[in-house]
């Protein structure tokens, strides 16, 4: 039986770990079946506990942009481990990675390291509130900014997949400070500014959304947000946890030529180890403790192993001038080939893609916001997912997630993917 060992391990895990997983999106709750327990990953591949090898389009949900277990990153981690793996003191390494980022990313003077994307977004919002002296934020339906209370209002990712976009446990007081708009609807944002004058500290957005499936900003939406924020003294926060160092080294700020006031990072920045970060212009970042009064801290923030993995990953990316164009090209070919194979079968679908992020939505022609993402045929996606899985292709287990393409994916892996799509019967 193909997933035998995973099924046994999942049963056992479910006794000791809530739902058998340490993060809900890992459960195959929406696609059905047993989540695969993985034991090894290298390059474009990941192996489950039954010994089956898969082409990996999740890539640890984004961090493994170089492919898994890059030998140079691995060496760097081993060397660092020999010198110690947690000091709880400043290290030169933290300045080295901060300097590399500030010198190569636009609109960023200072950066503070944390240990997850959740912490990064939560802290950026606190900083925005402290800096502006205002309480409310605007977020977009279907965007996910981690599991901090203010964000679990019409949230994307697992929250959307499992139908709990508003989590129990978030107080009414917190919820009322999170204002909502549809993605790509500038009029709705404008009316929120009219309704809540001088009360909105920040607009937080995934500049390319990846948590309702991949959804792109349309028609200068980001530029219009920038102008509205300027007009109202509100900070614009780009949540680049997915897009940062992935669409470009400077992320969506560069691709869409829009400067954010604060930017949050995660995933690629840690090279596969637990890292998040938030960054921005000096006058705003100066408001943070210990210089300023807005408090934020972390025992493992700037952890040397994590910094070493992140630094080495970022250096490798910077050393290849064609890195992003090659990734985008691979993703474009994947999109176009999968699309034409589905068209040959008469399967209605649309693919949203930017750089090395993409999603296939079945049964619809256009997805530009969360509502449209809900109209897609998610049952068809689930069937597609399981068919590809059975052929050794590992997609994110939900139609509300984005696929992440790594540098390690080449002709052989693409061909294997096309063959799997070719034999898909809806
Ligand atoms: N923001 C975005 C855009 C994300 O995609 C995620 C996680 N997928 C987060 C924030 C939260 O990051 P983490 O899971 O590291 O807390």
Same domain, 370 and 301: no
Same domain, 128 and 248: yes
Same domain, 309 and 172: yes
The SS3 call for residue 15 is helix
Q: Last residue of some domain: 295, 318, 341?
A: 318
Q: Determine the atom of ligand 1 nearest the C-alpha atom of 117.
A: 12
Q: Scanning the structure block, which residue is given the tokens 């897609």?
A: 376
pLDDT tens digits for 234-293?
Answer: 999 999 999 999 999 999 999 999 999 999 999 999 999 999 999 999 999 999 999 999
Q: Determine the atom of ligand 1 nearest the C-alpha atom of 276.
A: 15
With 80 as the cut, is the pLDDT of residue 157 above it?
no
* Full 3-state SS string of 173-211: HHHCCEEEECCCCHHHHHHHHHHCCCCEEEEEECCCECC
Same domain, 274 and 391: no
The pick from 23, 121, 123, 151 for probing ligand 1's pocket by mutation, whose C-beta has the most ligand atoms within 8 angstroms, reads 121
The pLDDT, as a whole number, for residue 165 is 65
Q: Last residue of some domain: 285, 318, 351?
A: 318
Alpha-carbon distance of 210 to 420, in angstroms, equals 24
Pairing mode, strands 38-42 and 235-239 = unpaired
CATH number of the domain that residue 276 is part of? 3.40.640.10
**Residue ID of nearest Cα to ligand 1 atom 1:** 145
CATH number of the domain that residue 36 is part of? 3.90.1150.10
Q: Catalytic residue numbers?
A: 144, 239, 267
Same domain, 300 and 354: no
Q: Interface pTM (ipTM) of the complex?
A: 0.99
Interval 332-337 mean pLDDT: 98
Domain count, the chain: 2
With 70 as the cut, is the pLDDT of residue 162 above it?
no
Alpha-carbon distance of 308 to 80, in angstroms, equals 7
Same domain, 63 and 75: no
Alpha-carbon distance of 41 to 60, in angstroms, equals 10
Cβ–ligand 1 contact at 248 (below 6 Å): no
With 80 as the cut, is the pLDDT of residue 158 above it?
no
Same domain, 180 and 113: yes
Same domain, 380 and 302: no
Q: Last residue of some domain: 266, 287, 318?
A: 318
Same domain, 366 and 236: no
What are the residues facing 46 on neighbouring strands? 41, 54
Same domain, 76 and 26: no
- Read off the pTM: 0.97
Same domain, 311 and 325: no
pLDDT tens digits for 81-103?
Answer: 999 999 999 999 999 999 999 99
Domain containing 9: what range? Answer: 4-69+321-422
**Residue ID of nearest Cα to ligand 1 atom 12:** 117
CA of 39 to the centre of ligand 1 (A): 23
CA of 256 to the centre of ligand 1 (A): 21
Same domain, 173 and 280: yes
Interval 160-177 mean pLDDT: 81
203: left (phi over 0), alpha (psi -120 to 50) or beta: beta
pLDDT tens digits for 339-366?
Answer: 999 999 999 999 999 999 999 999 999 9
């Amino acid at each position: 039986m193909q997933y035998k060992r995973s099924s046994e391990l999942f049963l056992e895990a479910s006794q000791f770990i809530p739902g058998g997983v340490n993060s809900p999106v890992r459960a195959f709750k929406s696609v059905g079946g047993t989540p695969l327990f993985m034991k090894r990953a290298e390059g474009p591949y990941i192996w489950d506990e039954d010994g089956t090898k898969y082409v990996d389009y999740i890539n640890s949900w984004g961090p493994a942009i170089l492919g898994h277990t890059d030998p140079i990153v691995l060496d760097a981690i081993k060397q660092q481990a020999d010198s110690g793996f947690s000091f709880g003191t400043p290290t030169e390494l933290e300045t080295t990675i901060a300097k590399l980022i500030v010198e190569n990313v636009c609109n960023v003077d200072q950066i503070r390291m944390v240990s997850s994307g959740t912490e990064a977004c939560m802290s950026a919002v606190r900083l925005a509130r402290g800096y502006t002296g205002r309480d409310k934020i605007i977020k977009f339906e279907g965007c996910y900014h981690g599991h901090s209370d203010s964000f679990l209002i019409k949230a994307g990712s697992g929250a959307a997949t499992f139908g709990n976009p508003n989590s129990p446990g978030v107080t009414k007081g917190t919820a009322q400070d999170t204002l909502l708009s549809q993605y790509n609807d500038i009029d709705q944002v404008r009316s929120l500014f009219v309704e809540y004058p001088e009360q909105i500290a920040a607009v937080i957005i995934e500049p390319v959304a990846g948590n309702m499936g991949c959804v792109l900003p349309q028609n200068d939406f980001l530029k219009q947000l920038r102008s509205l924020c300027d007009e109202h003294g509100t900070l614009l926060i780009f949540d680049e946890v997915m897009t940062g160092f992935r669409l470009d080294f400077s992320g969506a700020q560069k691709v869409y030529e829009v400067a954010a006031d604060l930017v949050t990072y995660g995933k690629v920045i840690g090279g596969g180890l637990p890292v998040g970060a938030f960054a921005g212009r000096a006058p705003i970042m100066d408001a943070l403790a210990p210089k300023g009064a807005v408090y934020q801290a972390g025992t493992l923030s700037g952890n040397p192993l994590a910094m070493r993995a992140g630094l080495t990953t970022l250096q490798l990316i910077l050393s290849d001038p064609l890195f992003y164009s090659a990734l985008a090209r691979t993703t474009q070919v994947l999109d176009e080939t999968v699309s034409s194979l589905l068209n040959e079968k008469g399967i209605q679908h649309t693919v949203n893609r930017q750089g090395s992020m993409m999603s296939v939505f079945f049964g619809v022609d256009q997805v530009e916001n969360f509502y449209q993402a809900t109209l897609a045929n998610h049952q068809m996606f689930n069937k597609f997912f399981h068919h590809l899985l059975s052929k050794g292709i590992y997609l994110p287990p939900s139609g509300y997630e984005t696929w992440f393409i790594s540098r390690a994916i080449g002709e052989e892996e693409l061909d294997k993917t096309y063959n799997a799509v070719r034999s898909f019967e809806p």
